[in-house]
Structure 1
């Protein structure tokens, strides 16, 4: 019977991991680009497209389309910078460069764009060629700091940007982001318009938008912007590189094998972020490109790193059917407000993506038994969109309180089966056995609220004959305890306590 239970449990675990793997592998997303063999020393940017590339012949219509896209992208950046400023507020005194760009936007929308003499040569001279310096505050780091970096390593890229890891001053590791000249955005634009520099400007607006958002949105679960640098690179003046906090990529398969406490921390970090985005200074913000690869982990906390596809626009509507949200496995129709906006669409889109990419895999599995009913309710409520972000936030914070305070523990009057001898300033060498989930891949290292819980864990493991109370705690303040299968090799160890089972 016991062998049968083990077989069934192993089969369940295998099915769960395979299902998770298949789901993650088939999520629609951006293709990674291969790292270029040669990297530019002065700009830390990708190499230019092959000069022999057969560019499509440009037409006046396509040139006007490029000008329109530049204008629209620039106006979007300015909206985020000015925090939804009104038309009159937009006419405030600005720096000469900003005024020049504003004049360009007005010019691009005026009727003389349609005049026959506006060919590509005139248009190229009118488009912005200089830096687009829209920083809201003085940066901490700049060109001088990244002029002599070490340990340059390519991390990855998407449609628009390439990301590198570098070390500054031989000690501080940061991430550098720049427009990827081999990326989808640049390649498609150059094929269509044949204007590398103008296409670079168009793509760089995404980087500027992200820079503005990272400055405006200050939250522990948003990656920090340290600075930026404009420099000439790839025969283009004033190419932009942003300097950002470095995080570790989010590896979902690896995360599934960590302790429930760490997985809960990821979900709590995400909910705190989404709660902030729903009530941000810019209004409700949705992450249109919401996938695990848009996040990183910094000191155990989840942080969003890619903000160029964020949006503050709420969908307009005239009836409820206009507020239709479609996902791979589920569709929803929200209410249309009297103001003609889909109610809480940005918030609900974020929340359902959090459910399908994170909650359903990370929250319930291997959680303390007394917390599982609450976690199941949270998962089901977000999967059905019965809750908004405020309720989800409150419920996860309640779970955290119960877990940190020890109130989740059951059977407070339960009598222990054995007695344990306390041996201060000692530890046990080796004598390990494996348990899941464990903080140590070769042993059974778990977190407990107090000594009573440690004894209960030991009594629930048939192999456990002793445990070592370490001098380490988790992010919740819980104690890390090493459970051992024998106590014959006790050795001196300051600040540790060994508990040896003596009866039972």
Structure 2
């Protein structure tokens, strides 16, 4: 094996070994790594002060989680907090627990951050999953130990952020939120593992090169998610760390995977100036309600972040001509915060209905098909393909169409196109895929396909 390949394999193995150790400690198979030092050098008064400060932070974290666990409950003895928390989470069903991790097989590290490590694993029986654990070597852990000189207390403090995320994932169940499949928690050292469905990191560069229909789906999924978050069981939820890296793709669907920075807090105000939203290039001021709250602030924050991180890049480019005016309306309304989430969702659903029904193509003449001979129940062989962009195939020109009329219109706009085939394959909207070609040699039976050939090139069939 080449030296470069060996080095790459060793580096991958080293990273994976860190992930494996972080996961296995949840099962008490690891040993506690004592971080920091010099505790004996501290004066008793200094040590007591640090422990008190760390205890205060732990209490504050728990006070943040309790209202999420049971809205309306604000006080509870901290000595029973852990048992009640995990007991309520598992009371509604039988999710995966610590036992599911005993025979798991780690595959690769999917990501790491200040607080958490995400590991792709295969559970017992070959079931795929993603595990979130505390990053024992992350910045949050290192800073805490440096400041408080208490590795065990710091592990509990850092784990509380993952505990909050587990609670939020349990409470905010939605098709566009990653599925919480279980958790492992409750040992004396406060370790927590979240067991999630497995997704793939969102690749914006890849999305930018994908067909408009797929980019529209991502934006539609996001708007449906934000509509749910605006009226969730916990109230209006703001995503404070709104970035594409907080999302993954699962079977073509966009899903939110990081919720530890989600907030359900309402912003109090005395005047409108207290209800300001500040972004790098725009500022907005909302109204202060008679109740003394900036109502709608969380919702508006989410909408504008969706506009600047997703809509701007994914929505307008190569939108179907019959829909461009509706896309422009969405861009203007969200970019200026003139629409609430209900209006935004209605606008997206309207575009979807038009696109699926083909009503946006009403100006295409029916006569466009007169120039084609059709062979039903057939497909082609010995094809001479050409490439177009964006295509569902990198080797040819495969596009989503409403039907034969739209496909014929596209073929007529491509100088090299002499025929197209409507296949039995369909996109997520139910629209068939059409393959466009410059030539072919044979026709072969295929009950799910139809071949359309320009009459001017019908001699190719002889």
Q: Same fold (TM over 0.5)?
A: yes
Q: 1:164 aligns with which of 119, 128, 136?
A: 119
Deviation at 1:230, TM superposition (A): 3.0
Of stretches 308-317 and 56-65 in structure 1, the one that deviates more from structure 2 is: 56-65
Q: TM-score, normalised by structure 1?
A: 0.80
Deviation at 1:237, TM superposition (A): 3.7
Does the 8 Å contact 1:286/1:310 carry over to 2? yes
CA separation of 1:184 and 1:99: change in aligned 2, threshold 3 A: closer
Residue 197 in 1 paired to residue 176 in 2? Answer: no
3-state SS of paired residue (1:35): helix
Q: 2:386 aligns with which of 413, 433, 437?
A: 433
CA separation of 1:42 and 1:413: change in aligned 2, threshold 3 A: closer
RMSD (CA atoms): 2.4
Measured in 2, the distance between the counterparts of 1:55 and 1:293 equals 38
Measured in 1, the distance between the counterparts of 2:93 and 2:153 equals 27
Q: TM-score, normalised by structure 2?
A: 0.87
Alignment correspondent of 2:250: 298
Alignment correspondent of 2:431: 478
User: 5+ residue gaps in structure 2?
Assistant: 1-13, 458-462
Alignment correspondent of 2:136: 181
Does the 8 Å contact 1:448/1:481 carry over to 2? yes
Q: 2:323 aligns with which of 357, 371, 375?
A: 371
Alignment correspondent of 1:333: 285
Alignment correspondent of 1:278: 230
Measured in 2, the distance between the counterparts of 1:257 and 1:368 equals 16
Deviation at 1:50, TM superposition (A): 7.2
Residue 75 in 1 paired to residue 63 in 2? Answer: yes
Q: 2:15 aligns with which of 32, 35, 48?
A: 35
Alignment correspondent of 1:459: 412
- Note the 1:14-413 alignment, pairs <5 A: 35=15, 37-40=17-20, 43-44=23-24, 51=34, 53=36, 59-85=47-73, 90=75, 100-101=79-80, 133=86, 135-136=88-89, 137-230=92-185, 237=189, 239-413=191-365
4+ residue segments displaced more than 6 Å: 46-50
Measured in 2, the distance between the counterparts of 1:383 and 1:239 equals 42
CA separation of 1:347 and 1:273: change in aligned 2, threshold 3 A: same
CA separation of 1:350 and 1:469: change in aligned 2, threshold 3 A: same
3-state SS of paired residue (1:186): helix
Q: Which has the higher helix share?
A: 2
Alignment correspondent of 2:372: 419
